[in-house]
Amino acid sequence: MTSEAPGPTAALSGRIRSGPSELLHDEVLAPQFRFESRHLLHHYAAIEKTLTAEYARMGLVTADEARDIATLLDGVGADTLTAEPGANMSDIAFALERHVEAGLPRPVVRWHVDRSRNDLQACAQVMYGRDQLTRFADALLELADVTVELAGATCDMPMPGYTHFQAAQVITPGFHLAAVAEHLLHTQRRLVQTYDGIDACPLGAGAMAGQELPWDRDRMARLLGFSRPQPHALTAVASRRWSAELTAELSLLGTALSRFTTDLLTWGSSEYGFIELPDELSGISSAMPQKKNYPVLERIRGRTAHLTAFHLDVLLGQRNTPFCNLVEVSKEAGTHLLNAFDSAHGTVRLLTEVLRRLGFRPATMRAACEREFLGGFNLANALTLTGQVPWRTAQVIAGRYVVLAAAAGAAPAPGRPDLLAGAAAEHGVALTAPEALLAAAFDVDLGLRRMVSAGSARPASVRELLRAQREELALLRTDWARRARAVRAAAEETDRALYAEARAQDRATGREEASDALGNDVRPGH
């Protein structure tokens, strides 16, 4: 393949005499065109409609011209435009401009005056990122709902909790899952803040220094569903910080989900056997018929690594670049943003289904609690609080007892009161009721109920936390719905701005009566 000019000159600029080469078209521009046609075209059309409404407000186009332009923009779809090096430079913005011009009954001379692709592209991209974030937030809310419900169903099932890979204290699956839900809520809060942080409209920034006409940037931002315009023109076209912020949140979430999935893998191993997944979510060994594997968990954990890689890709694409508009940042640095969201979305969907179908084995978990000396901390506390034994001495006595009991093959309950009395005597402590101390310390259910502090593993405490989490999830769902309504309302306001004045003119000329007689509205499809 060569890089010779492919054909006729694209009549879009007097600066160069030909369209892009075949190589540049095939390798770079055509793939970019296909991506933007599929994912960003409706944003480009919405932006063009907003700009047309502004032209009409400033009196640079008539109401009829604005309506004609808007009608053509409403009819654009992914199959409408074609990347043509000689006609539109294989550029989506030029292709959209040419498509509208070709469909107009007469030229609209002032349409596209005082315009730049820079703020157009920046605006379409941040709208796309905003949409992806909203879509992902819905999936994450569903995961949080499923997690909270499973936590509520399992907060009375004792299981060992682990620190440093060693059995440590009695907890429940519900307690552990409530921690996962808390992290999901934290991520949701950050995603809402990220949305609000990037919800600044770049449109009206021009190429980099602003524009010559009195564009109403507050109105343009509102018509595109933004809460405000980006206040600095250079930042509007040069910064893609928002893409780094979005992928950073996905990376952080992926790290947390990876850790939780590691726990599930551990609990599902043959050595633990705490959980089971249905056959539809399980796998087999090709060689060992006795095995039931859970490769779906390995997939989930493996996919979380991609999220950090995508974030790093965004960062590396922006570093060492000047702070201005350039393709390296606006296009290449964001190449894998969709992949990042698709990967995150798929990971969350898989984990949601896993938790929806996950089963715990209460008897196996309780047996693990009963064979471990998980009440050592409770025993040391009791020695201090009821026997007036100094805390550090109580720790030493409790540890010494565990060593002696394990060496003697004694189970944690009922234990060996004589060994506890002997361990205490080694430190000059005389115990009057070692049986009662052991019975209380190593009672599995009491081990849960005695944790009375807020946020503890005590079932009542977990239920209170889950109640608060459900309330916050409802508030978050309302927050996201409000933001989605603002975007929809903006599109409706844009249509009113473009079509209402033309309808008024039609009434004045009698055209609307003729249109109504034919059963047609001014706007196609309505």
What whole-number distance in Å separates Cα of residue 283 and Cα of residue 291?
8
Give 456's contacts (C-beta < 8 A, 6+ positions apart): none
DSSP letter for 372, please: T
Q: What's the pLDDT tens digit per position in 263-291?
A: 999 999 999 999 999 989 878 777 877 77
What whole-number distance in Å separates Cα of residue 425 and Cα of residue 402?
15
**DSSP of 99-167, one letter per residue?**
HHHHHSSS--TTTTTT--HHHHHHHHHHHHHHHHHHHHHHHHHHHHHHHHHHHHHSTTS-EEEEETTEE
Alpha carbon 511 to its chain centroid, in Å, reads 49
Span 48-66, average pLDDT = 96
- Confidence band, pLDDT 50/70/90 cuts, at residue 504: low
- pTM for the predicted model, two decimal places: 0.90
Question: Under a CB-based contact definition with an 8 Å cutoff, are residues 299 and 336 in contact?
Answer: no
Give 14's contacts (C-beta < 8 A, 6+ positions apart): none
Q: Is the pLDDT of residue 517 over 70?
A: no
Longest alpha-carbon distance in the chain: 108
At 2 the pLDDT is 43
- Confidence band, pLDDT 50/70/90 cuts, at residue 292: confident
Q: What's the pLDDT tens digit per position in 161-216?
A: 999 999 999 999 999 999 999 999 999 999 999 999 999 999 999 999 999 999 99
Q: Is the pLDDT of residue 399 over 50?
A: yes
What whole-number distance in Å separates Cα of residue 184 and Cα of residue 346?
16
- Confidence band, pLDDT 50/70/90 cuts, at residue 505: low
At 522 the pLDDT is 40
Backbone angles phi, psi at 359, to 5 degrees: -120, 135
Question: Under a CB-based contact definition with an 8 Å cutoff, are residues 259 and 348 in contact?
Answer: no
At 318 the pLDDT is 94
**Looking at the chain, how many residues does it have?**
526
